[in-house]
Amino acid sequence: MPRDLIFPTIEPFATGLLPVDDLHSIYWEQCGKPDGVPVVFLHGGPGAGASPTHRRFFDPGFYRIIIFDQRGAGRSRPLGETRQNTTEHLVGDMEQLRRMLGIERWHVFGGSWGSTLALAYAEAHPQRCRSLTLRGIFLMRPTEIDWFFHGMGTFFPEAHRSFVEFLPPAERSDLTRAYHRRLTDPDPAVHLPAARAWSIYEGSCSTLLPNPEIVASAGEDAHALGLARIEAHYFLNNLFTPPDRLLRQVDRIRHIPATIVQGRYDTVCPITTADELHRAWPEAAYVVVPDAGHSAMEPGIRTALVETMERLKAVG
């Protein structure tokens, strides 16, 4: 397949809101072939939400493509809601959605935080996974979160400086809690500027070469609020116990066909984490894209993802 090729734009053949508890309803959609092989797409963040572009990683003539917005994200309601919002809730939501759609087993495809959720889901429900496709590996350990707040500035000092200097000097000693306080303030005049500062920081660090479109979309209010508020919530309240739990439980999923796709110059989720996962799970295919950063839309990464899904047609 030629480099930098994804499938044409498509529209869903079904959409809906699934009430998953007394507070949250998650948006879901189906695209592609109604009786095709099911694949579920897990967006990043947590809180980033999915977009129409994400439908294009999969051959619509072969796959039944299921995309949903996780709790508090995108088109799910309520937007930015952190109550009753944990990794375990999201894993349970996937099972509710799978059962509602009448799917026995599906391919699981996730990047960044989506790789975290994919691993957590697969380790809880390995019998439901035909395969795993994981991009930009994030295991939500304290060291990785510390890198987000401090390490990315090694490569993107301007973006990091803007992120830090958004806060008054007295609040800069604990960026996580300072941003969390502002992001959870009920006043939009307080939480929206903080959300934009957070989201633009992340977007600015997500590509190998500058991408103004990604940075501009990062600053849109709805996207920024879902992403920033829920990321801050997870980074403070939802760490795994023990921190390396996902690595420790790889034996539960070692038999599942898997591919890890990682940008060599990923600054948001550095390659060291993907390398650790691959060393713990050598059975998984490991594709390092030599000229890419973090974003799934980096040309080399999106091509590697499409090629992976093409190969998985043989798995069924």
Question: Does residue 266 carry a catalytic annotation?
Answer: yes
Please state, in angstroms and rounded to a whole number, the distance separating the CA atoms of residues 245 and 228: 24
Torsion, CA 90, CA 91, CA 97, CA 101, rounded to 10: 160
Q: How far is CA 109 from CA 66, 79, 136, 188, 279, in A?
A: 10, 23, 12, 34, 20
Q: Is the dihedral of CA 218, 108, 258, 125 positive or negative?
A: positive
Question: Does residue 112 carry a catalytic annotation?
Answer: yes
Give the strands of the sheet with 106-111, arranged side by side. Answer: 14-19, 25-32, 63-68, 37-42, 106-111, 129-135, 258-263, 285-289
CA atoms within 13 A on the CB side of 303: 14
Question: E strands of 52-125, at which residues?
Answer: 63-68, 106-111
- With beta carbons less than 8 A apart as the criterion, state whether 73 and 65 touch: no
Q: Which of 54, 107, 223, 294 is catalytic?
A: 294
Question: Does residue 199 carry a catalytic annotation?
Answer: no
Q: Which of 54, 76, 107, 112 is catalytic?
A: 112
Q: Which of 206, 266, 278, 295 is catalytic?
A: 266
Please state, in angstroms and rounded to a whole number, the distance separating the CA atoms of residues 70 and 90: 7
Active-site residues, by number, are 112, 266, 294
